[in-house]
Amino acid sequence: MKSINKLQQKWGVGKLQFWLIMTTFALGGSLSGYLNKQILNLVFLEKNAAYWLIYPLLLTILWPFSVILVSFLTGQFSFFKGYLGRMWGRLSGGNSNNGSAAPVSPIHVAIFASGAGSNAKKIIEYFENKSTPVKISLIVCNVPGAGVLDIAKSKGIPTLMINKTEFESTGYVESLHNADIHFIVLAGFLWKVPEVLVNAYQPGVGDAKGIINIHPALLPNYGGKGMYGSRVHEAVVAAGEKETGITIHWVDAHYDEGDIIFQARCAVDPSDTPTTVAEKIHVLEHQHFAPTIEKILLKK
């Protein structure tokens, strides 16, 4: 039982997904063994020395294809795509380009969101219409039925549903690594990011490029625990502020305290309400969030 718990923590998955993964391993192994025997029986009339020499080689070739095929049926394709990709990377020891120009590798981005996903939608559409290596490859959500899940489905983007206990414990780091995620964007995600995930995605740690967040105010003002969404706008209006705006910042282990990357401002008129301020903020978010992500990842 302890070994099962350790594997769950390592992979950052829940009990149901863990058993689906193990089922995929078992069925994939059985399928590769069956296909292996059928192919060899067509080639060899008897089980001679050549048969037993080729048997393990062919099995090794067939196994990953069999597992990927089964993963479609068990709903674990995203996990196994990353898992097998990482295995291949370790076995190959990296690619050599023999002195030629190296191809541009995709930069896989995960968007974490808890609600309707308007920012996520704008980011997805921004990059799907541009010829860049930046790919929105995963939507991570903590709220069943959230609108962002419908957006992901309509765009054909895999999703990862998370629960708070496991998120605080493992950060789902292994699941993100298996999905080959390099960069994380918080777009209306309401949970504090655990230190284990912050540490795993520090820029320069492996292929990690960091975690960023967008906050609907001009930090360091109106930030911290509990300050999100309409609460921020209500506080801005109640304080009689003349301006507000958005802040895009790096994520650390504390609420809204990471280094500031970008800010944009808008006026707060005497007639403004929290609702009208929110509308102004949404305009700024949709205008600046995706281009800022592009600048960070492509060093523009």
Q: List active site positions.
A: 215
Q: What is the DSSP letter of 188?
A: S
Please choose, from the candidates 247, 202, 204, the residue with its C-alpha nearest in 3D space to the C-alpha of residue 228: 247
Instruction: Say how many CA atoms lie within 13 Å of 255 toward its Cβ.
Output: 12
Distance CA 252, CA 219 (A): 14
What lies within 8 Å, CB to CB, of 27 at 6+ separation is 70, 74
List Cα–Cα distances, 130 to 29, 159, 183, 185, 206, in angstroms: 40, 22, 18, 18, 26
Distance CA 32, CA 216 (A): 52
Provide the Cα torsion 79, 85, 90, 96; round to 10°.
-160
**DSSP characters for 131-144?**
-SSEEEEEEEESST
Distance CA 197, CA 194 (A): 6
Specify the 3-state DSSP secondary structure of 97: coil
